[in-house]
Amino acid sequence: MKRVKIFDTTLRDGEQSPGCSMNLSEKIIIARQLEKLGVDIIEAGFAIASPMDFKSVQTIASSVSDITVASLARANKKDIDCAWDAVKNANHPRIHLFLATSDVHMQYKLRMTREQVLQTISEMTAYAKSKCADIEFSAEDASRSDREFLAKCFSNAIAAGATTINVPDTVGYSTPQEMGDLISYLMEHVEGIANVDVSVHCHNDLGMGVANSLACVKAGATQVECTVNGIGERAGNASLEEIVMAIKTRRDFYDADTNIDTRQIYKSSKLLSNIIGVPISPTKPIVGANAFAHEAGIHQHGVINNAQTYEIMNPDEIGVPHRALVLGKHSGKHALRERLETMGYEINDEQLEDIFTRFKKLADQKKTITSSDLEALTLYHSGIVRDEREESATTCQVVSHAINSSKEAPKIAYVKIKRDDEILDGVAMGAGPLDAAFKAINNMLGTDARLEDFSVRAVTDGEDSIGEAVVKISSVSTGENYTGTGISTDIIEASLQAYVNGINKMFEESR
Ligand code: KIV
Ligand code: ZN
């Protein structure tokens, strides 16, 4: 059986898409989770893009141990030097070099001839190889490139030392049959291809990113580039969870396997969604809330008799928590730890203490605590996230609030906040109750945060469910964007904490 490597680019191609940006500590949390998930390669960023990107790649390179850490670089010495500086301390560093090979890109973007492109590939791959043993070369817009020329580009890259060649469908234009045919063609026409990994990188503009990637696996690709929840430029990249579960569920067809611990998929997906504040569509395959829900009577009847009637995967293998009632007001720490462990959360005693306190508080507000409640407590509030954020622990927290939102009177908010050991409070008026509260917070903390987007939704079941607020803010002075999330059974409290969490991130970055 063939082993397919999973190259995760959530922190590069995913993170560069609008609304998906992460700060350093959040990237480290994701990188560590990707390591637990079992990906083979993490593309940690594009080191030359900004000093922050460089620092992220460098920090991730020394934060993970077993997996390969790659930085993207254009085909020039400055980019390559910067990428190498950022990844060189990783146990397994990789430089990921790219240059466009389609006529439209060469003519209008690069303004280079085919000859110049071929020569640059040889020279820059050799230059990167003089620094790093593991070199990936990507032919940007490969799927719209002339095939014969593309084969020559890859042959040059291999001759100069590339150990992986990547075939991107950069604009998501190809069909599965075309991508599969292209891989078969390259297998026959690229010199030295048998000695390197053949990778694919498919965007999802026509909704075929996953299907295109799988067609390439069938045709012989040995590496797939993808992102958690399919985040990425425009319509996103091929989704990691869909590719991995297709290969696993249809092993009979693909005759392939990956190194992914599929029980970590659900947690990885939730963690990312929580950090970037981008909810997962209920019908998203594998990780959507409805992926294993059976509504129709006939289906329910079939599943009760035998799950295989309507379920092609077992939710347990993806780590989907059981929705059944699990704990109540009188449950102890032992039961809580056991339940969290079955949900994939390894917690130490201090973290258990923290979650237990929150659990008891929640149990006073809610009749029953389900796995979804526990997941919300753990992901959104718990010591697990806070510990991994290390020095960037939350600095401000909402203590209490009183808001007048009556139609006749002006909207006034009073908010009390704890900043480190200090208690601050303030009052403001606004166009609406939350506008008033956010203004009061800005005045108190001396920030210039501007609200860009705001949403609230129930993240657990029942009328006493937990509400999650996601607040996107920007700094008026720097133009930078930040996402804050907050949860509570009181949605006003969730909203205020989300706003303050966004500001905490703003403070963290300015340190
Ligand atoms: O989509 C693309 O072509 C890329 C390359 C840089 C690999 O992201
Ligand atoms: Zn891409």
Poorest-confidence range of 3-7, 64-68, 212-216, 456-460? 456-460
Residue 372 in contact with ligand 1 by CB distance below 6 A = no
Q: What is the pairing mode between strands 467-475 and 449-458?
A: antiparallel
- Using the predicted structure, report yes or no on whether residue 452 has a pLDDT greater than 90: yes
**Per-residue model confidence (pLDDT) at position 307:** 82
Ligand 1 probe mutation, 13, 74, 145, most atoms within 8 A of CB = 13
Which of 11, 105, 140 is the best mutation target for the ligand 1 pocket, counting ligand atoms within 8 Å of the beta carbon and taking the most?
140
Q: Indicate the top mutation candidate among 46, 72, 144, 202 to test ligand 1's pocket, ranked by most ligand atoms within 8 A of CB.
A: 72
What pLDDT digit, counting tens, does each position of 118-137 carry?
A: 999 999 999 999 999 999 99
pLDDT tens-digit map of 433-443: 999 999 999 99
Q: Which residue has the higher pLDDT, 445 or 487?
A: 445
Confidence (pLDDT) at 288: 93
Determine the pLDDT at residue 380: 62
Q: Is 168 in the pocket of ligand 1 (CB under 6 A)?
A: yes
Find out whether the beta carbon of 169 lies less than 6 Å from any atom of ligand 1.
Answer: no
Q: Looking at the predicted structure, is the pLDDT value of residue 385 above 70?
A: no
Among protein residues, the one whose CA lies closest to atom 7 of ligand 1: 138
Task: Provide the pLDDT for residue 487.
Answer: 84
Q: Which atom of ligand 1 is nearest to the CA of 98?
A: 6
- With 60 as the cut, is the pLDDT of residue 188 above it? yes
Average pLDDT over residues 384-401: 62
C-alpha 345 to ligand 2 mean position (Å): 31
Residue 204 CA, ligand 2 centroid: distance in Å: 10
| Tens-place pLDDT, residues 19-51 | 898 989 899 999 999 999 999 999 999 999 999
Residue 110, pLDDT above cutoff 90: yes
When pLDDT is averaged across residues 314-335 and rounded to a whole number, the result is 82
Centre of ligand 1 from the C-alpha of residue 114, in Å:
19
Q: Is the pLDDT of residue 382 over 50?
A: no
- Residue 25 CB–ligand 1 contact under 6 Å: no
Longest Cα–Cα distance in the chain: 78
> What pLDDT was estimated at residue 390?
42
Q: Is residue 134 in contact with ligand 1, taking CB distance under 6 Å? A: no
Worst-scoring range by mean pLDDT, 214-218, 430-434, 437-441, 478-482?
A: 478-482
- Averaged pLDDT for residues 363-386: 70
Q: Could you tell me the pTM of the whole model?
A: 0.88
In tens, the pLDDT along 284-313 reads 999 998 888 766 677 667 777 888 888 899
> Ligand 2 mean position to 139 CA, how many Å?
11
Q: Is the CB of 143 under 6 A from ligand 1?
A: no
**Which of 95-99, 237-241, 499-503 shows the lowest mean pLDDT across its residues?**
499-503
Ligand 1 and 267: CB distance under 6 A: no
pLDDT score for 388: 41
Question: Helix or strand or coil: residue 239?
Answer: strand
Q: How far apart are CA 77 and CA 128, in angstroms?
A: 8
Nearest CA residue ID for atom 8, ligand 1: 13
Among the residue ranges 159-168, 211-220, 376-385, 414-423, the one predicted with the least confidence is 376-385
Q: Answer with the residue of higher pLDDT: 127 or 481.
A: 127
> pLDDT at residue 386 above 60?
no
Instruction: Tell me the HSE value of 197 on the side-chain side, using a 13 A CA sphere.
Output: 22
Q: What does the pLDDT average to over 310-329?
A: 82
Q: What is the pLDDT of residue 323?
A: 65
Beta bridge partners of 449: 475
Average pLDDT over residues 206-229: 98
Is residue 98 over pLDDT 50? yes
3-state secondary structure 402-421: EEECCCCCCEEEEEEEEECC
**pLDDT reported for residue 367:** 72
Find how far residue 46's CA is from the centre of its chain: 16
**What is the mean pLDDT of the segment spanning 408-424?**
91
193-198's contacts with Cβ under 8 Å and 24+ in sequence apart are 193/154, 193/158, 193/165, 195/158, 196/158, 196/162, 196/163, 196/164, 196/165, 197/5, 197/163, 197/164, 197/165, 197/222, 197/223, 198/164, 198/165, 198/167, 198/222, 198/223
Q: Closest ligand 1 atom to the C-alpha of 237? A: 1
Residue 365 in this model has a pLDDT that exceeds 90: no
Kindly state the average pLDDT of the residues 468-480: 91
